[in-house]
Amino acid sequence: METSEYLFDLDDQEIFSAKNSDLKAKVLRYHLMPRLNRLLKVAMQQAQAIFEVDLMEHSTISQSPGFRTDRRKGEITMDYDWCKIGLTGVRKPIWSKIHNRKTGKSPVVSYISWDLELIDQGLVATVSLPANGPFTKESYELLLQPLVRNAGSIATIMNRSHVRFYSNAVDVKATASLAERLQRVSTTREPEVVFATTMVPFPIPESKGMNIAHQLGELFLIYDTWIRAAQGLDDRVDHMLSKLDSFYDWCDKNNVATEETDEEGNDADVDLSSFPVEKTSVLPAKRYQVFQRDDWKCVSCGKDPLTHGITLHIDHITPRSKGGLNQVDNYQTLCDTCNLGKGNRDSTNIRELHGSGK
């Protein structure tokens, strides 16, 4: 079966408009999340290569939807409009310098995030402090001041990586400098602070997904600054900026683009064999019904995307060339390897052989 040129295609986009919240959540969790997870690994590798720090020292991986079916009874009723994965502060009482504005106590979670997010419009990478903030005004000032002091350098990074700064601060001119905007938002009662890449719309080519992951890697500097400030640790902004400058110098000397900017949309050749995406004529609704029926696993080897990093495919049990119909009963779920091994002329009903077709 042919592999698609897209990392996330128009069929993937359609799931965000699904009316069945249970099916929608499971498709996001089992079908889209594994691909986002692979992009996160690329972003983490990029950050590690640039900054040479322990990314997980004070962080943990967070994903949404993140439910576990072995602990869930009944259908999922929450209507997820997103699929995201990234880093956030570890759930430990180490955030001594930030305080909840209602209780005055230090939180167990930091609420600081470094994410890849897929929504109905496309893919975006963000570094953010929580909207409708739970922290005191003094806490936000503490988190934002290191960025205010280094706003000039950070603005240069943002321009190079096409990153935008969003906030809910009022009375700030559109032409205001980043330092002015950060200073103003730090005094807002319930600030919203987001650094975001330019969103890539569906369908999302593989190279564009890689670009977003690389941009997120560069934005680790901002996340790291907030994580350290929340604990009262000395900031290492100068060190991180120096590392990023060295990375940019290397890119310039070796003629390596830090973002693909081809005006005609021709994507650079990138080896993304680890990002297999199925190209199929099966309608999305039917495809997801089959995945759900087969418990989101390959019916031949039993592997699943979350545990084994494989991609699920729809296989025609009786090939269309032999009169096979485009019906759910003629479909079975196979992984990459088993799908290639079966071939297009093989009519083996693997579901029946393994007892899952009963």
Tens of pLDDT, residue by residue, the chain (358 residues): 334 579 999 989 999 999 999 989 999 999 999 999 999 999 999 999 999 999 999 999 999 998 876 666 778 889 999 999 999 999 988 999 998 888 889 988 888 999 999 999 999 999 998 766 678 888 988 999 999 999 999 998 898 888 999 887 666 666 788 888 888 887 777 778 899 999 999 999 999 999 999 999 999 999 999 999 999 998 899 999 999 999 988 888 876 665 544 333 333 333 333 333 333 445 556 777 888 888 888 999 999 887 887 888 888 888 877 878 888 888 999 988 888 876 554 556 676 666 555 4
What the block records as the tokens of 119 is 């929504």
Q: pLDDT, tens digit, for every residue of 164-176?
A: 998 876 666 667 8
Interatomic CA distance for residues 134 and 123, integer angstroms: 27
Q: Which residues contact 151 (CB under 8 A, 6 or more apart)?
A: 177, 178, 179, 182
Q: How far is C-alpha 337 from the geometric centre of its chain's CA atoms? A: 25
Interatomic CA distance for residues 58 and 45, integer angstroms: 17
Residue 313 lies in a domain: yes
Question: Are 43 and 136 members of one domain?
Answer: yes
Interatomic CA distance for residues 339 and 71, integer angstroms: 31
235 near 228, Cβ under 8 Å? yes
Count CA within 13 A, CB hemisphere, residue 57. 11
Q: pLDDT, tens digit, for every residue of 132-142?
A: 667 888 898 89
Identify the CATH number of the domain in which residue 232 sits: 3.30.930
Number of domains the chain is built from: 2
Question: Are 290 and 163 members of one domain?
Answer: no
Residue 262 lies in a domain: no
What the block records as the tokens of 228 is 């350290």
Interatomic CA distance for residues 162 and 199, integer angstroms: 10
Residue 126 lies in a domain: yes
Amino acid at 323: G
Question: Are 214 and 337 members of one domain?
Answer: no
What the block records as the tokens of 285 is 């609704």
In the three-class reduction of DSSP (H, G, I as helix; E, B as strand; rest coil), residue 57 is classed as: coil
Question: Are 231 and 295 members of one domain?
Answer: no
Interatomic CA distance for residues 283 and 315, integer angstroms: 13
Question: Are 227 and 338 members of one domain?
Answer: no
Interatomic CA distance for residues 198 and 17, integer angstroms: 22
Last residue of a domain, one of 230, 253, 276: 253
Question: Are 92 and 15 members of one domain?
Answer: yes
Tell me if the pTM is above 0.95: no
Q: What is the DSSP string of 125-153?
A: EEEEEPSS--B-HHHHHHHHHHHHHTHHH
> Between β-strands 122-129 and 113-119, what pairing exists: parallel, antiparallel or unpaired?
antiparallel
Structural domain of residue 343, as residue ranges?
284-353
Last residue of a domain, one of 211, 237, 253: 253
Interatomic CA distance for residues 231 and 188, integer angstroms: 22
Q: Across the strands, what pairs with 122? A: 119, 201
Distance between start and end Cα atoms, the chain: 26
